[in-house]
Homo-oligomer: A and B are copies of this chain.
Amino acid sequence: MNFGIAGLGYWGPNIVRNLQAHKKAAKIFAYDLNSNRLEKIKEKFPAVHLVNKFDDLLKKDIDAIVIATPVFSHFELARKALQNKKHIWVEKPFVMNSTEAKELLELANKEHLRIFVDHTFIYTGAVRKMKELIEKKELGNIKYFDSARINLGIFQHDINVVWDLAPHDLSILNFILPKHKIEAVSANGIANYYNLENIAQLSLYLTNDCFANLHLNWTSPVKIRRIIVGGDKKMLVFDDTENFEKIKVYDSGVEINSPESLHEALVQYRIGDMYSPKVLQTEALSLAVNEFISAIEENREPLTNGYDGLKVVSVLEASQKSIQNKGQLVRINSV
């Protein structure tokens, strides 16, 4: 299988490395607006072929194109690729709005092509383990999902902190809680330095009385990458800044009393052992590349496909609208 890749900024070279390492990958053609980046990729990966225009990629004998350019260009490049019968891999966030997402999905369906959206976290051992534990009902009924994703992050030119960081949390949320639908969002934020928000809070109302918080900040002096999933039986913490013990499961539960007086507790906690399951250490991106290639070969939807991309984009879109209206509740159109 031959591949093209457009966009060799921060993430692109990692995809090149993982494509090159996959046994099914033959030739790789690379493109970037910036010629310095092209030269660098050639230095590091001498086997890669360079092209100077995106349209040149389309003419090559390639099966699939990876789009790792700035978000505003995803739609245009993806459409061209699909129109030229190429499967596509698109970096997160998928596109700038749900209309674009739907158009690409239709096009892909018509042409029987695959859309892979790079929701990388889905391929980590930690998120796999979270899903496994929730599916086994180890946490009981899920009551809340609480994420903090803050650090000194790179300000993007075309998207704010929500579009940059929330796709991680939203794709994880959709993946580990498939039966809980996000129904509405109330979001607030501020643009301290530029016309794009650098801080935002999203409150998501899910079905089954479940609630989610996403706390996002590009301008925090400390780095926090923590998701708490609260069940009525147990609670789980995923701390991605830990090298080991990324997942901790707390045997802490909440028990409701019917107190007869003000001196009795309404709620009692059961606090038991904690354990930290071992999680797979395989690089997520190598599993993602493998899933992309397998889905093409097996003629099936990849695990993180265009519909997942659309779902995430729909929430981002609604959040944006809510932020502009300072917290006003915005319903999510079901996908």
Contacts and interface: CB of A to CB of B under 8 A. Distances in A.
A211 B193 contact: no
A273 B276 contact: yes
Identical copies in the complex = 4
Contacts of A156: 266
Contacts of A223: 244
A326 interface: yes
A327 B186 CA distance: 6
Given A157-B259, A273-B278, A329-B327, A228 B220 contact: yes
A194 B326 contact: no
A154 to B, nearest CB: 7
Contacts of A34: 263
Given A146-B220, A155-B265, A188-B186, A201 B199 contact: no
Interface stretch (A60-68, A89-97, A110-118, A249-257): A249-257
Interface string A230-263: 1010011100000011000011101010010011
A213 B201 contact: yes
Contact of A184 (B154, B205, B326): B326
Contact of A278 (B46, B189, B244, B272): B272
A134 B45 CA distance: 44
Given A143-B219, A184-B326, A252 B205 contact: no
A271 interface: yes
A78 interface: no
Contacts of A252: 152, 221
B271 A152 contact: yes
A274 interface: yes
Contact of A266 (B155, B263, B326): B155
Contact of A143 (B192, B201, B262): B192
Contact of A274 (B190, B217, B245): B245
Interface in A203-218: 203, 205, 209, 211, 213, 215, 217
Nearest to A274: B276
Contacts of A232: 192
Contacts of A265: 154-155
A171 interface: no
A120 interface: no
Contact of A144 (B199, B251, B276, B278): B199
A259 B194 CA distance: 12
19 contacts: A70-B262, A144-B192, A144-B219, A152-B271, A157-B266, A186-B327, A187-B327, A189-B203, A192-B230, A192-B232, A193-B254, A194-B267, A201-B203, A201-B213, A221-B274, A222-B237, A273-B278, A322-B327, A327-B329
Interface of A: 9, 33-34, 46-47, 70, 143-144, 146, 148, 150, 152, 154-157, 184, 186-190, 192-194, 199, 201, 203, 205, 209, 211, 213, 215, 217, 219-223, 228, 230, 232, 235-237, 244-245, 250-252, 254, 256, 259, 262-263, 265-267, 269, 271-278, 322, 325-329
Which 9 pairs show the lowest CB-CB distances between chains A and B? A186-B327, A188-B203, A275-B275, A221-B250, A190-B211, A221-B235, A155-B267, A327-B327, A274-B276
